[in-house]
Amino acid sequence: MIRRTLPCLAALALAACAVPPPKSMPEAPAAVLAPDAPLPAPIRDPAVARAEFVRSTSQRFGIPAADIEAVLAKAQIREPIVKAMSRPAEAKPWRDYRPIFIQPSRIDGGRAFLEANRAALQRAEDAYGVPKEIVTAIIGVETSYGGNKGSWPVVDALYTLAFAYPRSGDPARVAYEDRREAFFRDELAQLFALGKEEGIDIATLKGSYAGAMGWGQFMPSSYRQYAVDGDGDGKRDLFNDLDDVIASVANYFAQKGQWQRGGPVMQRAVRDASAADFANPGNAVTLDRTLPMLAALGYRPAAAPLADAAAPATLITLEGVAGPEDWIVFNNFKAITSYNISRLYATAVFQLAEAIAGRSPDPA
């Protein structure tokens, strides 16, 4: 999700970046265009698409067309970004994906970050209900606690994906690829709006190859909609102010993800020998079962149930080192997928959070 340079980068020195706490967490600003709002149909001709982008962005956000053109005139199509978008990490199986994030340095870094920023994390947990270790794990997975916030010019990243989104040549993927290109074109427009609203020179921003920025890697639309001023200084700074970063991540989960305070995320399941495979492909999480319904299908919690019989749930299966892993997932797992739809990502965040908190990341 956005970025800049922060003088306090070392995980063990993050406490030095602390600022005085506000008396209470503020509300998020009035909603703007949501990241999942309907997007316009793509325009195939690049020159026509760019001209339409300038016209519509200028009209939509009250930005002079000449200012938009001046930024785009310096933007570049970056071929490495096209290649990177064609091979995301989530294509790995869980047994290969897990070691990227559940490893000693990231766990130790998370514990150091939590200790250095305990007060801000506690304020966010009190205000939004999202546990300290979950917010910490998000920042750890996204940027290694601020150590790797990305080096791509954000304008170039979004410009590339807005006007040169990679095409597979598969007719079955055309509609999906059109939607993704339209999404990034909207995010580029949102970046211009963000620069106007927050007084940011967007040409100076660096971020991920997908245009995500800051400690929490917010996309421009998410910055505009979910960022909050965590320390009461009148600014929403997700580049340099950890109070704002922490509060904004928690607010995102509370608002976008509908996080349930005190609710479970996921729990290992045991499978009866006679149970049929549970068909649940893809990444979308639909909570259309309950624990009794899953038990009737031959899947039960491996330990004491973390939710009551009426709680919405479903089952996912991951490809672990020792074979298939069955997990029962609940509302707060789905909340994590609002940050990144990948089930592998959500599982990694949960297991890293558990490890940071001193609990077993996988109790099986």
What DSSP element (H or E) covers 206?
A: strand 206-207
Domain boundaries, the chain: 46-90+148-234, 266-339
- Quote the DSSP letter at residue 232: S
Beta bridge pairs of residue 207: 152
| CB 232 within 8 Å of CB 26 | yes
| CB 133 within 8 Å of CB 110 | yes
| CB 327 within 8 Å of CB 345 | no
Q: What is the pLDDT of residue 38?
A: 53
- In tens, the pLDDT along 65-92 reads 999 999 999 999 999 999 999 886 567 8
- In tens, the pLDDT along 273-304 reads 999 999 888 888 999 999 999 999 999 999 99
Q: What is the pLDDT of residue 90?
A: 61
CB atoms within 10 A of CB 310: 9
Q: Which two tokens stand for residue 72?
A: 């785009």
| Phi, psi of 314, deg, nearest 5 | -155, 180
Name the percent of the chain in helix, strand, coil, to the closest 5: 50, 10, 45
Q: What pTM value is reported for the model?
A: 0.85
Q: What is the pLDDT of residue 39?
A: 58
Collect the ranges in the chain with pLDDT lower than 50. 1-37
The CATH superfamily of 46-90+148-234 is Bacterial muramidase (1.10.8.350)
Catalytic residue positions? 142
- In tens, the pLDDT along 17-34 reads 333 333 344 433 333 333
